[in-house]
Structure 1
Amino acid sequence: MAGKFELWVDKAGEYRFNLKASNGQVIATSQGYASKASALNGIESVKTNAPDAETVEIEK
């Protein structure tokens, strides 16, 4: 089973989404969006950009 996106409205009335792994663990959470269309656009952006995302280690 592949991962999935879950979309919901938070207590402030903003749309948010989680990306969940196939085991149900949340692996990414979005910012709040003012509209459903904006949140869906955010999901599409993750789908488009994540496969080629660079991994950068930040040292403290």
Structure 2
Amino acid sequence: MFELKKSGDKYHFVLKAGNGQVILSSQMYASKASAMNGIESIQKNCQNEDSFEMKTAKNGKIHWNIKATNGQIIGSSQMYASESGAKNGIESVRKNAPGAEVKEVE
């Protein structure tokens, strides 16, 4: 499920797995419509392997970003201890995002 939240005058969202764990977080958007477009972009791009970019942080942990076709980052993962954990996170996005409902939360 995508949770859409308003923070001040901006919007952002997270994608949660069935167990409630956050799989990815978005950037901040100026409007609700822009955030909804970000969700739609993730749903559209998550099946394309080239949309995901894995990185290693300075502390050695692994994380990834999902990018739109224009190269803009539309979602970022948590930090993972291993590459296999990060890959499992990507697979979770592929499984959960396409048909996920959008819920607005306070």
| TM-score normalized by the length of structure 2 | 0.47
- The percent identity for this pair of structures is 52
Letter in 2 for 1:16: H
Pick aligned residue for 1:29 from 19, 25, 31: 25
| TM-score normalized by the length of structure 1 | 0.79
Q: Which sections of structure 1, spanning at least 5 residues, go unmatched?
A: none
- In the alignment, what sits opposite 1:40? 36
Q: Matches of residues 13-28 of structure 1 in structure 2 within 5 Å?
A: 13-28=9-24
Instruction: Go from structure 1 to structure 2 and tell me whether the alpha carbon gap of 1:23 and 1:57 turns closer, same or farther (over 3 Å shift).
Output: same
Higher RCO (CA 8 Å, separation ≥ 6 residues): 2
- Post-superposition offset of 1:19: 0.3
- Post-superposition offset of 1:39: 0.2
Query: For the residues of structure 2 that align with 1:29 and 1:57, how far apart are their CA atoms?
Result: 15
The alignment covers a number of residue pairs equal to: 56
